[in-house]
Amino acid sequence: MQNNPFNIQSDYPLIMGVLNVTPDSFSDGGRFIQDKGLDLHHACDVASQMVEQGAHIIDVGGESTRPGAKAVSLNEEMDRVLPVVEALAKHTDAVISVDTSSPALMLQAHALGAGLLNDVRAFTKDGALEAAVATQLPICIMHMQGSPQNMQDKPSYNDVTTDVATFLSARCQHAISAGVKSRHIMVDPGFGFGKTDAHNIELLQQLSVITQLGFPVLAGLSRKSMIGRLLRRDTQDRLAGSLALAMLASQAGAGIIRVHDVAQTRDVLALQALIPLNT
């Protein structure tokens, strides 16, 4: 099992496959959570398939962070995530990322074999940063304005790129001061998390400002509602838009691309690496 994404060698950006073990995530909610609870076998099969298709990292999330999503209890989140982490740690070579803001889950996931902590709340929850330091795992610090419950209620910025970069820089320095190794930090501008379509577009156009912070940049644009609004496509019809944005993010310097459609994204990024354009 690979337990550090920063040790992975690849000719193109790393691919993070999304594995939401939730009933209400915007794209694949309910896929592994049914009336009888978690379908662990199905979840592990899908994760294994993503690894075979080219995913370097599997991001396991037990709490939906879509706009307006309801919070879940810690016990419920742990019941969804920990069995999957434990099973994947035994049966896959990919890095297992845990998408959580819960300190207790971070600690237990680390004990079961997780290799990355991915927190949409940027480790601001009480005890989260301390838990990250205790595990000594790599972390992903994301920007979000507000919370999932209210983040799309008229988000506003003085300058979205500058504001996001300033926030991420401050959180990274805070994490380093607390004991996280700088070489173990990646950042995520948080496309769609407290941003309008115009904000998202501007962030993508100016992603070099984020890359200049000196940390690997993760871009999560797969199947986002922005694609639906701009192209008038339902969630299940957003593959082409997702692939276009994955390539644009890669060209802008993103080092990790978080996606639902691994095989297709892998082909796009691999071809992009094989046929560099003259500039």
Stated as kind and residue range, the H or E segment containing 92 is: none
What is 108-146 written as a DSSP string? HHHHHT--EEEETTTT-STTHHHHHHHHT--EEEE--SS
Instruction: Look up tokens 């805070």; give the residue.
Output: 174
Q: Distance between CA atoms of 231 and 233, rounded to whole angstroms?
A: 5
> Active-site residue among 66, 80, 224, 238?
224
Q: Distance between CA atoms of 31 and 38, rounded to whole angstroms?
A: 9
**Catalytic status, residue 258:** yes
Which of these, 155, 180, 177, 193, lies nearest to 66 by C-alpha position?
193
Helices 128-135 and 103-112: crossing angle in degrees, nearest 10, is: 20
DSSP H helices in the chain? 40-53, 74-91, 103-112, 128-135, 160-178, 197-205, 207-211, 225-231, 239-251, 262-274
> Active-site residue among 80, 171, 223, 258?
258
DSSP-derived pairing of the beta strands 57-61 and 14-20: parallel
CB 142 within 8 A of CB 194: no
- Phi, psi at 262, each rounded to 5°: -70, -50
CB 196 within 8 A of CB 230: no
Stated as kind and residue range, the H or E segment containing 101 is: none
Which residues are registered as beta bridge partners of 188?
142
Active centre residues (catalytic):
224, 258
